[in-house]
C-alpha cells in the first residue's frame, strides 16, 4: 500500500502525535531516574514533569546542568523502579485516553472533514459510517449521503438521505439532491416529486440558483406516471 503524499499539516500532526507523546514519556522517565541521583525526589519530579510537557526546552537545559554539575552523584537503591512505574502509569493513562477519544463521534467527523479537504471520499465515507455506529445522527446520515452521491453510489445515497429526513434533518436541499439522484437512476416520476417538494420549501421562497435548476428539471424530465419510491 502506497501512503498518500498530499497530507495536510493537520493529518501529519495526527499521524506523528502518538510517537511524540510516547517519546516524551520515555525521556521524562529517564530524566526522573537520572535526576534522583543528584536532586531530591521532589525536584527530580519537577525536572521530569518539565521534560514531559516541554521536552525540546527542558531536556537541553537538564543536559547542560549535568555538564556543569560538580556535586557527586548519590547512589539510590532501586533507582529505576520509580521511573519505570511512572512511565507505565503515564503510558496506561495515555492509552485509556486515546481509546476514549477515538470512540467519540466528533473525532470521526473531524477525520472525515480532513479527508474531504484532500478529496479522499472513500476515507470520509468510512469515517461517517464509523460515527454512525456510535450515534444514529440525522446530520451525519446527510453528510454520508453527500459523499456517497459524490462517488456514484446513488441507491445508497438515497437511503441515507431518507434516514436523514426521518431523523429530522432540516436541510431543504435534501429534496433537490434526491431529485438529482432519482433522475440518475431513471426514476423520473420520483425525481419530479422531489423537485416539486423542494420548490415548496422556505429556501425557494427567496432567490436561489438551485430552485431555478429544479424548475428547469421539471420542464425537461420525461413523464413517468408510475414512479417507484424508495
- On whether both 57 and 126 belong to a single domain, the answer is no
Query: What pLDDT is attached to residue 102?
Result: 62
Full residue range of the structural domain in which residue 82 is found? 10-68+78-102
- On whether both 23 and 115 belong to a single domain, the answer is no
Largest CA distance in the chain: 96
- Residue 14 belongs to a domain: yes
- On whether both 112 and 213 belong to a single domain, the answer is yes
- On whether both 174 and 116 belong to a single domain, the answer is yes
Query: What pLDDT is attached to residue 6?
Result: 47
- On whether both 23 and 83 belong to a single domain, the answer is yes
- On whether both 86 and 121 belong to a single domain, the answer is no
- Residue 3 belongs to a domain: no
Which pLDDT tens digit goes with each residue over 35-46?
988 888 899 999
Is the entire prediction scored with pTM above 0.85?
A: no
Which pLDDT tens digit goes with each residue over 156-201?
999 999 999 999 999 999 999 999 999 999 999 999 999 999 999 9
Domain tally for the chain?
Answer: 2
Which pLDDT tens digit goes with each residue over 145-155?
999 999 999 99
Question: Does residue 107 or residue 75 have the better pLDDT?
Answer: 107
Query: What pLDDT is attached to residue 1?
Result: 36
- On whether both 84 and 141 belong to a single domain, the answer is no
Mean pLDDT of the chain: 86
Amino acid at each position: 500500500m502506497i501512503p498518500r503524499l498530499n497530507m495536510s499539516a493537520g493529518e501529519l500532526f495526527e499521524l506523528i502525535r502518538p510517537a511524540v507523546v510516547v517519546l516524551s514519556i520515555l525521556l521524562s522517565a529517564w530524566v526522573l531516574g537520572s535526576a534522583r541521583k543528584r536532586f531530591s525526589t521532589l525536584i527530580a519530579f519537577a525536572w521530569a514533569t518539565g521534560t514531559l510537557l516541554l521536552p525540546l526546552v527542558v531536556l537541553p537545559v537538564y543536559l547542560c546542568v549535568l555538564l556543569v554539575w560538580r556535586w557527586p552523584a548519590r547512589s539510590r537503591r532501586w533507582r529505576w523502579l520509580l521511573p519505570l512505574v511512572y512511565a507505565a502509569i503515564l503510558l496506561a493513562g495515555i492509552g485509556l485516553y486515546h481509546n476514549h477519544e477515538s470512540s467519540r463521534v466528533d473525532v470521526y467527523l473531524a477525520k472525515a472533514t480532513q479527508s474531504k479537504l484532500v478529496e479522499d471520499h472513500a476515507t470520509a465515507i468510512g469515517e461517517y459510517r464509523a460515527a454512525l455506529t456510535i450515534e444514529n445522527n440525522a446530520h451525519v446520515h446527510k453528510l454520508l449521503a453527500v459523499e456517497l452521491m459524490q462517488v456514484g453510489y446513488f441507491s445508497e445515497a438515497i437511503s441515507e438521505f431518507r434516514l436523514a429526513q426521518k431523523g429530522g434533518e432540516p436541510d431543504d436541499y435534501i429534496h433537490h439532491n434526491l431529485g438529482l439522484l432519482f433522475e440518475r437512476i431513471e426514476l423520473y416520476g420520483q425525481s419530479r416529486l422531489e423537485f416539486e417538494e423542494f420548490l415548496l420549501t422556505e429556501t425557494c421562497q427567496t432567490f436561489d440558483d438551485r430552485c431555478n435548476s429544479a424548475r428547469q428539471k421539471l420542464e425537461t424530465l420525461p413523464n413517468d406516471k408510475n414512479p417507484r419510491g424508495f
